[in-house]
Structure 1
């Protein structure tokens, strides 16, 4: 066993780049098997590896851009990374800008919740969503001066918004 003096929760940029490389290799193989074209890009930010698959002009990538498909593919990719690195991965996958599109949807969701609060509701509950989406909700809510808290367990975990 090797000794590591850093916190187990702190992952170096080098390790995150390794995660991105492993993820890219896995995804490239998967795209080849499925005969789907796409260009891969990697980035490290906010303590996470980000991998995106962008269209290379082939419309077949649209098959993977559905949010539920992206989420499932992200989980498979995380498992592949974990298998190769022996570390839990918090990698984020984006397919054809699906993350940006989802962020816009979440911004609209927070805006509608804000309108309910403007109409006198004491709080507004949002649907259950992934931890990444809840993190985005918390960020969006904070930008709008709202307080957000998550409640529930597992797949039922959801966010409630209220005024500060």
Structure 2
């Protein structure tokens, strides 16, 4: 059970999402040029979202792959896309595999929560995180046949896990 209250919006077509990805890629490419970082951009559409990833052999990409930095870049990129298209963007940005690394961290948080449940706790709360991260947590929790719900508002919104 997931209960993130998200304002519903009409589904975007694949063409609209691809255009969103193109606009985002142009914006990110300009940022990389300004920062003098070489990077390859890959565009995809996944689960109703534009997905833009930046890969590079350049060591300087590590400066941008910190999860907090990726989150900030993602928000700025979403605003740039919204400014250009006039539509709210839910695109996902990945820099140097940061999303996979963050997913592994979230899985470890869920593992720690499961230990608390195994030790007798009726529920276990995770720290506040972004809606995308909460969605990943909800997916991991569901895969482990547990239940998760999100509570709180804005930056304090967090996930609580319990047994069925």
After TM superposition, the score normalised by the length of structure 2 is 0.94
The aligned counterpart of 2:33 is 32
Instruction: Kindly provide the CA deviation profile for residues 18-38 of structure 1, in whole angstroms up to 9, marking residues without a partner as x.
Output: 000000000001100110111
> Which blocks of at least 5 consecutive residues in structure 1 are unaligned?
1-6
Alignment of 1:11-160 (within 5 A): 11-55=12-56, 57-160=57-160
* Count of residues paired in the alignment: 157
- Per-residue CA deviation, residues 21-71 of structure 1 (Å, 9 max, x unaligned), is 00000000110011011110000010000000001x211111000000000
Which residue in the other structure is 2:5 paired with?
none
SS of 1:69's equivalent? Answer: helix
Q: CA deviation at 1:9?
A: 1.7
Bigger radius of gyration: 1
Flag the 1:8–1:152 CA change in 2: closer, same or farther, 3 A: closer
Q: Which runs of 5+ in 2 are unaligned?
A: 1-7
Superposition deviation, residue 119 in structure 1: 0.5
Runs of 4+ in 1 over 3 A off after TM superposition: none
* TM, length-normalised to structure 1: 0.94
Shift in Å, 1:8:
4.6
- Secondary structure of 2:44's counterpart equals strand
